[in-house]
Structure 1
Amino acid sequence: MEVKITQPLLPLRDIVVFPSMVIPLFVGRDKSITALNEVMKGNKKIVLVTQKNSEVDDPKKNDIFSYGCESNVLQLLKLPDGTVKVLVEGIKRVKIIDFKDDEKFISSSYEYQKETLIKDEDLLPLALTAVRRLEKLNSINKKISTETINNIKQLKDPSKIADNIASHLNCTISEKQQIFETLDIKKRLNSIIKIMENETSIIGVEKRIRGRVKTQMEKTQREYYLNEQLKAIQKE
């Protein structure tokens, strides 16, 4: 039987935090700030759960996803405008069991989620394939720093490789959350590879279309210029 753990909960807008991910968050809602102040008094652990709709200001249980990330608050800085900047590190996947809103802040009971892996199956080759797909995609869109790519290449754990790549994917929050909730590491890696291949293909198509449009525009401009020259010659 899984042990239930209770910690304050921080609902997130437009971001999914994965295990091993370190990221700054800017927090402005009163309940969220109170929750952060509460965890700073103790073990500095908080549950980060993404909202289904980022426009909901006071989310209830049905407004957040059922899976989140137990995280450590590494640093908290109160800003002059009353908001708070926190540096958090994702630790473990959890499933939300109970949701409690006492008007001061939100807390939740949750259970840790175990990843699934077929015994003796080596997923490192598949993970390295995902890394190569990321490098290929990044050579086109240039959205990830070289340092980040190199850090991912140094990882040897297929699960951590998958999570690090997933956190940088250019996809919808629902797609990213679906990847987060995929406990089967092999399926998670395959989903990530498919998303990157699709994006690479789309970028390639867009590039070819832009190339054709540019060529056509240049041709039209040349024809217009020649026609104007002919008109000028005929007038003379």
Structure 2
Amino acid sequence: MQINENKGFPTEIPIIVEDELFLYPFMITPLFLSDEENLKALELAIQGETPILVVPTKPQQDGARDFDGIYDAGVIGTIMRRVPLPDGRVKVLFQGIDKGKILKQSGINPLRGIVDMLHVKRPSQVKTDALIVVLREKVRELSQFSHFFPPDLLKTIEESAEAIRVCDLVSSALRLKKQIAYSFFVEENLEQRLLKLIDYVIEEIEANKLQKEIKNKVHS
């Protein structure tokens, strides 16, 4: 499915609800759709050749397919491939483009909304670069105590020149609880997002150090 990725926003697009995965724009991800609402949203996007917004359900709301049970931001993207499965589900390959936020609810069954891209407020390049240096340093330190960051991912984080992508890569690797992941995801002030992420990584370092000390004492 080919669409114009520069389609003007805000605009009305269909919404797919994802119960398990928390997506980021850099991802190309298989999604498995089985419920009527998501399948209708898929068909609407394909027939209209429009982007689609994939949003996560709120905690304890798995299976919810209404606006009360979902977060109001997610990933705008396109459907690259669709494959019907023997068990009745449909497997789609979803390519993220950007972060999007529901400005207005415009329809149900399937869910539709007036969606705009999230607009990030960036600090000066000097400040951004300094914060990224600290974040990378803390990520390298955490990688010595945990399995969150395999070598290939560390290399990608080190080489990426885009601060938002670095934040998304780190957040995705940390396997954050959904509500924490969402709070980082929707933070439109890049400086604040970097500071919060650095603080979280430092907390993880301290927690992993403590766990290692306890294990060493137990086995000594």
* Aligned AA (2:67): K
Other-structure match for 1:69: 75
Aligned partners of 1:23 and 1:95: how far apart in 2? 20
C-alpha distance 68-117 of structure 1, shift in aligned 2 (>3 A): same
1:153 to 158, 161, 165: 158
- Asked if structure 1 preserves the Cα contact closer than 8 Å seen for 2:59 and 2:179, the reply is no
Other-structure match for 1:218: none
Deviations 1:206-225 (A, max 9, x none): 1111111122xxxxxxxxxx
Aligned partners of 1:114 and 1:194: how far apart in 2? 23
Aligned partners of 2:201 and 2:61: how far apart in 1? 28
Aligned partners of 2:180 and 2:78: how far apart in 1? 25
Other-structure match for 2:211: 206
- Asked if structure 2 preserves the Cα contact closer than 8 Å seen for 1:124 and 1:157, the reply is no
CA drift of 1:199 comes to 1.1
Other-structure match for 2:102: 96
Deviations 1:140-177 (A, max 9, x none): 21233322222222211111211221122232100000
Question: 1:41 is paired with a residue of what secondary structure?
Answer: helix
Runs (5+) with no aligned partner, structure 2: 1-7
C-alpha distance 118-152 of structure 1, shift in aligned 2 (>3 A): closer
Higher CA-based Rg: 1
Other-structure match for 1:225: none
Within-5 A mapping of 1:1-236: 3-43=9-49, 45-103=51-109, 105-119=110-124, 121-215=126-220
Question: 1:65 is paired with a residue of what secondary structure?
Answer: coil
Question: 1:97 is paired with a residue of what secondary structure?
Answer: strand
Question: 1:142 is paired with a residue of what secondary structure?
Answer: coil
Aligned partners of 1:12 and 1:208: how far apart in 2? 38
Aligned partners of 1:100 and 1:196: how far apart in 2? 38
Question: 2:31 is paired with a residue of what secondary structure?
Answer: strand
- Aligned-pair identity in percent equals 19
Aligned partners of 2:37 and 2:51: how far apart in 1? 16
Q: TM-score, normalised by structure 2?
A: 0.86
- Asked if structure 2 preserves the Cα contact closer than 8 Å seen for 1:123 and 1:158, the reply is yes
Runs (5+) with no aligned partner, structure 1: 216-236
CA drift of 1:28 comes to 2.1
- Asked if structure 1 preserves the Cα contact closer than 8 Å seen for 2:41 and 2:111, the reply is yes
